[in-house]
Amino acid sequence: MIDTNKIKTLGQLKEEGYQPKTIKEELRDNLITKLRQKENVFEGIWGYEETVIPDIERALLAGHDINLLGLRGQAKTKIARLMVQLLDEHIPAIEGSELNDDPFNPISRYGKDKLKELGDQMPIAWIHRDERYTEKLATPDVSIADLIGDVDPIKAASLKLPYSDERVIHFGLIPRSHRGIFVINELPDLQARIQVALFNILQEGDIQIRGFKLRLPLQIQFVFTANPEDYTNRGSIVTPLKDRIDSQIITHYPKSIEIGKKITQQEAQIKEAQRNIVTSTEIVKDLVEQIAVEARKSEFVDAKSGVSARLTISAFESLVAAAERRSIINGEGSANIRLTDFIGVVPSITGKVELVYEGEQEGPGIVAQNLIGKAIRSQFTNYFPDPDKFRKQKEKSPYKKISEWFGDGNTIDLLHDMPETEYKKLLDSIPGLKELVDEHHSKEDKTTKLLLMEFALHGLAEYSQISKNNLIRGLQFKDLLSGMFNLPSEEENDEEEDDSTLGGMMN
């Protein structure tokens, strides 16, 4: 291991026996070491262990530039950033060089002049791997000057140089990324004429700036990201450029609820104060992931746009905030996430999905609530018997006592900000509900059982055993028929809320 604090000149570097590598040799060698040591190369990336990650590793071993192709929210940029961990911690460069010139093989005019002038006495600087990563979002206003460079008249004037001298060039981001990783996000959004400018850099190592013909054998690991939607809606990758990108790797969404939960719990920004107050259960986490699953197959959501993993992350953060808010309002020291808290998830959904025409007609809020309802229905049979199996055998239904109680005209209001004691009292008052949960989940703690009692109500409503209506401040559960023929107006909602006790039962 070379002591970077002691090695200050090219001569000292030679004495240490340092052997320079290209960026792709460096990535390859470090990847081989990590694979042999069974280290996780892409820490925190879940669900790609058997698909995307092996493809990336093969591409790096082959020395390929990479295009990560996938819908939004599939960790494409995060993967690119993690590649930095495959670089050496420090590499030497000619001190003062804007192109990170290799002391043994400089490519810039500055570096070549320094080597010729000072030889082994040439001072070197050590560059940390974090400084060797450059990322650029492709937007329509990105210019060739931004990426490659242009003539700088101020530099020409201050150095008293003619425009024919290459020292007047101000280099762009790509030359300045020499011996590093350069990422272009959303490549199809880059104008076609700018994409054309990348041809020679990828293939021959030439760059062309104004009238200059420069041979700069840049050593860069290119990583591009692209969304298939962009190919049709906004732009495309020009064919010759796509041909020069060696490996195109397809990303995907989590293939299971369990993987989705790992991603959400890892990425959600839950404050320490919230963790101390709010308790969540696996039921809640499963429902959050199921919402994304339902959105990805919904006829109201544009499948080409995709449903980002950010939806579930934002949704879980909103759930925690909803429970925290309730605890603050009621002066309670702790709070358990309830299904009524899912009203707080609606803004996270409406801002994260692109609706097709039919969805826009329905309205984003209605579509969001529809997705939550479908998630509850899909998850319900993981915890309770399928209500559809008892439609022709109502006498044997485990839900008979509950549905008959509502059929007798009983109604309950579950309000969003209901205190815990009243919430428990209300659910306990429904005949058969506690027994249902005890029968199927006898080993669960009291908090989880209470949530399962509420979950059973929501599930029965989704299976049309009882009805569920929105109130301004919560939800109302009643008999299915009375719910169908007696849908309350907003004015009636207000009256019902004012007339109802927080105990919630109205006969």
Same domain? For 237 and 97 the reply is yes
Same domain? For 62 and 207 the reply is yes
Report the CATH number that the domain containing residue 259 is assigned in CATH.
1.10.8
Query: End of a domain among 346, 361, 380?
Result: 380
Q: What local confidence, expressed as pLDDT, does residue 497 receive?
A: 41
Q: What local confidence, expressed as pLDDT, does residue 213 receive?
A: 66
Same domain? For 279 and 418 the reply is no
Same domain? For 289 and 233 the reply is no
Same domain? For 410 and 350 the reply is no
Same domain? For 116 and 174 the reply is yes
Rounded Cα gap, residues 23 and 18, in angstroms: 15
Q: What local confidence, expressed as pLDDT, does residue 210 receive?
A: 66
Q: What local confidence, expressed as pLDDT, does residue 94 receive?
A: 95
DSSP 3-state of 32: helix
How many structural domains comprise the chain? Answer: 3
Same domain? For 396 and 500 the reply is yes
Residue 2 lies in a domain: no
Residue 164 lies in a domain: yes
Q: Of 165, 176, 199, which is closest to residue 99 (Cα–Cα)?
A: 176
Rounded Cα gap, residues 73 and 230, in angstroms: 14
Same domain? For 432 and 496 the reply is yes
Structure tokens that stand for 86 in this block:
């495959």
Same domain? For 366 and 462 the reply is no
Residue 270 lies in a domain: yes
Q: Of 384, 310, 323, which is closest to residue 349 (Cα–Cα)?
A: 310
Domain with 36 in it: 10-250
Query: End of a domain among 200, 234, 250?
Result: 250
Query: End of a domain among 358, 380, 402?
Result: 380
Report the DSSP beta bridge partners of residue 9.
123
DSSP letter for each residue of 263-289: HHHHH----HHHHHHEE--HHHHHHHH
Same domain? For 227 and 320 the reply is no
Same domain? For 79 and 110 the reply is yes
Structure tokens that stand for 281 in this block:
């259960």
Residue 5 lies in a domain: no
Same domain? For 292 and 416 the reply is no
406, 504 contact by CB (below 8 A): no
Rounded Cα gap, residues 379 and 371, in angstroms: 12
Residue 3 lies in a domain: no
Residue 449 lies in a domain: yes
What's the pTM?
0.84
pLDDT averaged per 10 residues in sequence order, the chain, 507 residues = 85 92 96 95 94 97 96 94 96 94 92 93 95 92 86 76 73 92 93 85 71 78 86 70 92 95 95 94 96 94 88 96 96 94 93 83 89 96 93 86 93 94 95 95 93 96 93 91 54 42 36
